[in-house]
Amino acid sequence: MRLENILNPNLILCQSPGVSKKRTLESIARFLAVNVSGLDAEDIFMRLIQRERLGSTGIGNGIAIPHCRIPNCQEVVGALVSLDNPIDFEAIDDNPVDLIFVLLVPEESFNKHLETLATLAGLFNQEAFCQGLRHASSQQELFKAAIEYQGS
């Protein structure tokens, strides 16, 4: 799986305001609903929050990968967000989060969901990848850092 298959420049938020986990997920859900045809902000938000109730998707080192399967989602969709201020995400290492990759997967795509999560976790476990994202100061730079790293 390649990031450019699920991420496009319109699904990037760079230096987005970080307030709280709930407000950030709500804001990202609205952003996704505006930019991806057929998706509903309230449904996205509700499903992401339900997933968080099972256990935080904060994987450590300032990274969170909130994810859910969702009806009316025609393909795997990713949104990459860097925050202007790290927020508490109840991550496994108790460190605040400043990089978020939201993953939405069609409801019936169980295997694709797991495969994509594994790929993302592998990428975000690479310090050079995360540093490239953290140094980006614009939407275009953030997208370029994500895509070019995977190409190297």
Active site residue 113: no
User: How do the domains of the chain map onto residue ranges?
Assistant: 3-151
Out of 58, 67, 124, 129, the active site residue is: 67
Amino acid letter at 115? E
Q: Output DSSP code: residue 77.
A: E
Q: Angle 99-117-49 (CA atoms, 0-180°, nearest 5)?
A: 65
Percent of the chain at pLDDT exceeding 70: 95
Q: What burial class does residue 138 get, using C-beta atoms within 10 Å of its C-beta: 0-12 exposed, 13-18 middle, 19+ buried?
A: exposed
Nearest Cα neighbor of 143 from 2, 32, 8, 1 is 8
Residue 53 has pLDDT above 60, yes or no: yes
- Report domain 3-151's class: alpha beta
**What predicted TM-score, i.e. pTM, was given to this entire model?**
0.93
pLDDT at residue 117, rounded to an integer: 81
Q: What is the pLDDT of residues 64-84, one digit of tens each?
A: 999 998 988 878 899 999 999
